[in-house]
Amino acid sequence: MVRMDVCLAALFAGLACLLVSAAAQAASCDRACLKGFVDDYLEALVAHDPGRLPLADDVKFTENGVELELGDAVWGTAESLGRYRNYFMDVEEGQVAFFGTIHEYRAPAILVLRLKVENGEKISEIETMVVRDVQGANTLDARTPAGLWTETIPQEERMSRAGLVRIANMYFSGLENNDGKGVYPFTDDCNRMENGTYTTNNDSARPPGVGGGAAPAERQPLSIGNIMAMGCKEQFETGYFRFDTRIRDRRFKVVDPERGVVFAFVFFDHNGTVRDYELADGSIAHSRVGVSSWMIGEAFKIENGLIRYVEANMFAPPYGMKPGWDD
C-alpha cells in the first residue's frame, strides 16, 4: 500500500512541474524577442506584406478601433519608417507596445502598436492607432525617447503588477471630472509629452507677460498655455480638466515591474456640458470643449509609487467610439 505522504509529494511535484512549465512558456519571449517581433512587423508593414509574419490562425487586427482584414488600411499606405522608436515590453504576458513614426505617401504620421505574442512564436493580436497629425509626427520624429524608459528599478523598490496598474489608473481617475481635490501621485520632476509636444513644464506655451512664479489665481484667465507651463501635479490641482467628463475603456495592456512601466489604451470623453466652472482656487474657468472623444495610447514611468513621466499619442474618433476589443 502506497503511503499518503508519498502520494502527496508526487502530487505537489507534478503541480510544481506544471507551474514551472507554464512560467517558462509565458517567458519564452524575452525583451529582445518581443522587440524583434515589433521590428519584423514594421518591416513587413512598409513592404505591404503581412505574409512575412508568423501569425496565429485567429489573429485579430484593428486600426483606430475598427477590426479590419490584415493587409488593409495602413498596410497599403505606409511607405517608410521614421526615426522615433519607443518600445514597452511585458515579458510575463507576451505583450509589447510601441510608439513610432512612419510616412504615408510622404506625409508623416504617428504609429501606436500593440502585439500579443503567443508562446514566443506567433502573433495573435495586432492593435494599432495611426495618428495622422503631420505637425505632431514631425515633432516626435525629431525627438529621442527619454532614457528613463529603459532604466531598471532596483529589486527592493519594484512594485507589483497590480500596484503599478493602480497608480496608472489614479492618473485617469484624477483627470475624470477633475476638481483639484484628488490624490495625484506625481514626482516633483514629472513631465508629460503628447503627440511629440511637452504639455507640462513648457514655458514656451505661456502667454506673454505671465511670470513663471505667479499663482493660478493671478494668471487669469487660466488658459491652456498657462496650464502647459505647469508641472503634472500642479495642473491636476487646479481642477482645470473638469471637461474630461468620462475616461473609459481603461485597458492596461503592458505592465513591466522591472522598469516600472505601464502602457494603456483609453478613451477620454467630453460631453460638452462643462462651460463655465469653478476651479480649485474659486476662480471661474471657461471651456470651449464640445462633444468629442480622444482615443489615446499612454505610457507611464512609475518610481516608488509616483508617476515620473507620461508619454501619450492620440486622435479624435467619433464621440463614444469603442476600442474594438472586448477586454
Q: Find the CATH number of the domain harbouring 139.
A: 3.10.450.50
Question: The cell 499663482 sits on which residue?
Answer: 215
Q: Are residues 133 and 172 in the same domain?
A: no
pLDDT confidence of residue 17: 44
On whether the pTM is more than 0.85, the answer is: yes
Beta bridge partners, 95, equal 90, 116
Could you list the residue range(s) of the whole structural domain that residue 266 is in?
Answer: 151-315
In a domain, 17, yes or no: no
Neighbours of 198 (CB within 10 A): 16
Q: Are residues 225 and 281 in the same domain?
A: yes
pLDDT confidence of residue 131: 98
Q: First vs last Cα of the chain: how many Å apart?
A: 50
- Residues 268 and 244: beta-carbon distance below 8 Å: yes
Q: Are residues 290 and 215 in the same domain?
A: yes
Neighbours of 164 (CB within 10 A): 22
pLDDT confidence of residue 221: 61
Structural element, H or E, at residue 233: helix 232-238
In a domain, 88, yes or no: yes
Q: Are residues 119 and 253 in the same domain?
A: no
Q: Are residues 110 and 250 in the same domain?
A: no
pLDDT confidence of residue 106: 84
Q: What is the pLDDT along the chain (327 residues), one digit of tens a residue?
A: 444 454 444 444 444 443 344 344 445 899 999 999 999 999 999 999 999 999 999 999 999 999 999 999 999 999 999 999 999 999 999 999 999 999 999 899 999 999 999 999 999 999 999 999 999 999 999 999 999 999 999 999 999 999 999 999 999 999 999 999 999 999 999 999 999 999 999 988 666 554 444 444 344 467 777 999 999 999 999 999 999 999 999 999 999 999 999 999 999 999 999 999 999 999 999 999 999 999 999 999 999 999 999 999 999 999 999 999 998
Q: What is the dihedral of CA 89, 131, 139, 86, to 10 degrees?
A: 10
pLDDT confidence of residue 10: 47
Structural element, H or E, at residue 261: strand 261-270
pLDDT confidence of residue 27: 54
In a domain, 20, yes or no: no
Beta bridge partners, 306, equal 303
Q: Are residues 121 and 242 in the same domain?
A: no
In a domain, 14, yes or no: no
Domain count within the chain: 2
Q: Cβ neighbours of residue 207 under 8 Å, at least 6 residues apart? A: 223, 225, 226
Under DSSP, the state recorded for 154 is P
pLDDT confidence of residue 208: 55
